[in-house]
Amino acid sequence: DQQVKQNSPSLSVQEGRISILNCDYTNSMFDYFLWYKKYPAEGPTFLISISSIKDKNEDGRFTVFLNKSAKHLSLHIVPSQPGDSAVYFCAARNTGNQFYFGTGTSLTVIP
């Protein structure tokens, strides 16, 4: 039972344009949401997060939006750069310190 879903396995975007990665979840008890970036042969690294009490968090080129009523969050990267090419995982945490991950979206930024 996949509680966190990333329905797009891959995404290609032109350099300089906006990348939008989407994530849906099913458990309304999740209180914290995160995005991780993963390069080949490395573990996931934290990118940006958002608490369930907020609807937007911004950090430089990265913005995460949370729509609790739709149980949906998205990551916006603007402008996209070739170095952003990686696999992006969405994750959600419940109050029991358990994290649930999506299957990832492979982003390719084309120079």
Query: Which residues of this chain interact with another protein, rule CB under 8 A?
Result: 2, 4, 9, 31-32, 34, 36, 41-46, 49, 51-52, 89, 91, 93, 95-104
At closest approach, how far in Å is the CB of 65 from another protein? 18
Token pair for residue 111?
Answer: 């120079």
Closest to another protein by CB, 71 vs 79, is 71
Closest approach, Cβ 72 to another protein, in A, equals 17
Q: Is 44 in contact with 23 (CB distance < 8 Å)?
A: no
| CA–CA gap between residue 85 and residue 98 (Å, rounded) | 28
Q: Which of 68, 15, 73, 82 is nearest to 48 (CA)?
A: 73
Q: Which is nearer to another protein, 14 or 51 (CB)?
A: 51
